[in-house]
Structure 1
Amino acid sequence: MKKTIFIFSTLIVALLILFRLSEYAFLVGDTSIELIIAIVAIVFLGIGLYINKKRAETIPRKDGEIDAKKIKELGISDREYEVLLEISNGLSNKEIGEKLFVSESTIKTHVSNLLVKLDAKRRTQAIQRAKELQIIAG
């Protein structure tokens, strides 16, 4: 969590510096407003691509021994699948919420939905059932 706060704080500071530099360049008359807007847009694009790449690295690919068709048949959403993977890693609801940037009550809702969809009464039973159905690595 500290790493995430540090990254976002750094991004905010970098954007503030960018805005200050663009304000200075515009006031001096060296740069047009269109160029400043383009630079800011490119910076945001880069940040978005970086965050997307990092997020994609944390989600295992649904290939090989994982049955993607079964996931769709069960009606498990992408977010519920992420929660299922984190449950299989042994994380608590609070830890999963912090990792996925959602509230603990949202995670509880996803867990409840998973229990129903996997016909399980407990989290451990849901993980066991998911392994049997080959929707998570076992």
Structure 2
Amino acid sequence: MTSQTGVESVEYNGVKYAEIIWAHQTVEKTTFFSPDESSFQFGLLAHKAGFEEPPHYHQPVERTISDLQQMFVVQRGVVVVDLYGDDGELLREIEMHAGDAVVLIHGVHAIRVLEDMQCISVKQGPYLGEERDKVFVDFDKS
């Protein structure tokens, strides 16, 4: 796990499993934390008062995505995101509060709600239904 002033990477066996952006993280200018080649781009946008970006759109470009990633941004309440390695090892329990965000890049995750919560969830589409989208895992906890 590496930390850089409010942004943490969760890594295991040389593989990045998640990026956490804590609510207190600030940047002076727009900063993206994902590598350019990542299929899921995330960062913090920061501009001084008076900044204006001209009207624009993003060009439609065909992309192939095989590594579905997901981002949670907690709006209210408290939730714990458990991250597991491919081998079932519990890597991290991330207790998240309002304003905290996590990008789930690889591996298995579970959530536990400690206080009634609401969060924004963002992932690539299209949604193919739970039967094709999710694989439930039962790690042996003995």
- Normalised TM-score (structure 2): 0.22
> Greater Rg, structure 1 or structure 2?
1
Q: Which has the higher strand share?
A: 2
- Normalised TM-score (structure 1): 0.23
Q: Which has the higher helix share?
A: 1
